[in-house]
Amino acid sequence: MLESYFVAPKTLQRLRTGLSGPYIDGFANSLEQDGFSHASAPRYLRAAAHVGHYLQQHGSTLADIDTSTAEAFFRHFATCRCPYSKGGKRNHHTYFGAKRYREYLVQIGVCQHYATSEPQEPEPALVVGFRHWLRKHRGVSDSTLRHYSRDAIDLIKALSDDPACWDAKAIRGYFVERTGRCGGGTAEKMVTSLRAFLRYLSVHGQCQANLHDAVPKLAAWRLADLPRYLTAELCWFCRRTEPDARPRGNGNRLGKSGWVRGATRRAAEDYLPLRSVHSG
């Protein structure tokens, strides 16, 4: 079943080692039956294999997993020294992958189910209304509801529970800080969910109009960063040798190809495409 998501023999061997090895194929089958996409399932499987190595490093077994394991696993990434694991960025895939793996182990009887003693924090009224609106007017699935609600709750916790006090600076600052700790795919989904939440609040008069425009769009098109045939070093060299980097003429010269570092008014560290200018 693992071969449905990975093809490299080294990857398959690595995922089937450690404490999670005997259960990784069953977990993959469980993810497929539950409808996880081919984008999310491999990340959950990597997290499950990593959990096994993490527990082994700390002298524990899979039977010792409890409700606090996912939190501890998530925090250890900054100093990760687990064998066969490369650490990686901390995002919701690693956290929820570990939680979903524990649920699977509980189902098959490997570890025990521990009832949480702490009462769950109720959802804010804004998020409850947002969920109802999404289900009634957009007909979104349960997984999408969870994703949109999670991002909305995080935004409320980071700013305040009064959207009338939010402004564009606060929204953009939160977004930049939050996306700096996750991958591109997660950031793109966050753009969609936050814009939808802010539009909902704006329509109902609970925040400033057009506040959703404060959430910047991400360049997701192919080769948005840099063409494959150009290296960052070459672009930087062209920038240094061509003080006036604006494209002129027919754009055939390499120094005026339109792909330069810091040639726009945006941040100097970004690689941005410049529109070619053709004469005649």
Q: Are 46 and 14 in contact (CB under 8 A)?
A: no
Distance CA 12, CA 38 (A): 16
Q: Per DSSP, what are the bridge partners of residue 273?
A: 259
| Residue 107: band (very low, low, confident or very high) from pLDDT cuts 50, 70, 90 | confident
Distance CA 117, CA 19 (A): 28
Domains defined for the chain, CATH in brackets = 2-107 (no CATH), 125-214 (1.10.150), 219-280 (no CATH)
Question: Which residue pairs from 128-131 have beta carbons closer than 8 angstroms and sit at least 24 positions apart in sequence?
Answer: 129/200, 129/204, 130/197, 130/200
What average pLDDT does this structure show over 41-68? 83
Q: pLDDT tens across 138-157, in order?
A: 887 887 888 888 889 989 98
Closest residue by Cα to residue 163 from 177, 179, 176, 174: 174
Structural Rg of the chain based on CA atoms: 23
Contacts of 108 by beta carbon, 8 Å cutoff, 6+ apart: 23, 26
| Residue 262: band (very low, low, confident or very high) from pLDDT cuts 50, 70, 90 | very low
Percent of the chain exceeding pLDDT 70 equals: 70
Residue 248 is predicted with a pLDDT of 44
Q: For residue 224, is pLDDT > 70?
A: no
Amino acid at 103: E
Q: pLDDT tens across 3-22, in order?
A: 888 888 888 888 888 888 88
Q: For residue 272, is pLDDT > 80?
A: no
Residue 86 is predicted with a pLDDT of 56
